[in-house]
Amino acid sequence: MTSQLRSEVAAAARRLADAGLLIGTAGNVSARDPETGHVAVTGTGVVLAGCRPEDVTVVDSDRSIVAGTLVPTSELDLHLAVLSSGAAGAVVHTHAPAATAVACVRDELPVLHYQQILLGGEIRVAPYATFGTPELAAHVVEALRDRSAALMANHGAVAHGTTLDKAVDNALLLEWCCRLFLDAASLGTPRVLDQEHQRAVVEAAIARDYGTPRTAQPSKEHR
């Protein structure tokens, strides 16, 4: 299980690097083993586009290394804090370009497009603190309340999910929303979807089972 989790964390890091969200050694990925509670996390200084299972270190709840040879990422506090704060089974931290740009200017990413509601709505920007500090981890946990993603002032972004795939999908969606905001704001003041619009989207999504592939019923002529 541990070796499989290390492979999956490495694959998630490569996927995020391929998408341009992890650049060089910047950013990190973690996932918790539901059986042991151990956390697999990318090592510090790893070039993430070429991340291999052996570049992923596994720590227990005391932060003792149980597998791997590399020192865990300097943002280990942040990963452990998010993983222990709620439903997260996997966490992604990036310095993705659009997310970081928004986080250098705004205090919040408003909802311009209904897809952002999948992340929980408006995305908070956690106040700045030095990288790798418990203070930064606490700010991020607070900004993530009822959300699957948060921005980090003058630093980057965090996304989580119940699985690695969901955490990666949420990180990609957050970057798409930030890019949309930057593009829209370059044309003028973006219109935002208010709470009433957002509520209507949630109701419509529930009614239509949005985002789930469904088998179409053949029409009468083609039966």
Residues with active-site annotation:
75
CB atoms within 10 A of CB 199: 12
Q: Which of 133, 134, 113, 138 is nearest to 123 (CA)?
A: 113
Name the token pair of 129.
């603190």
Q: Which of 46, 27, 42 is nearest to 155 (CA)?
A: 27
CA–CA separation, 24 vs 17, rounded Å? 8
Amino acid identity, position 45:
G
CA–CA separation, 217 vs 159, rounded Å? 37
Q: Are strands 149-152 and 123-126 parallel, antiparallel or unpaired?
A: parallel
Give residue 172's Cα distance to chain centre. 8
- Are the C-beta atoms of 155 and 128 separated by less than 8 Å? yes
CB atoms within 10 A of CB 80: 21
Phi/psi at 78 (5° precision):
-60, -50
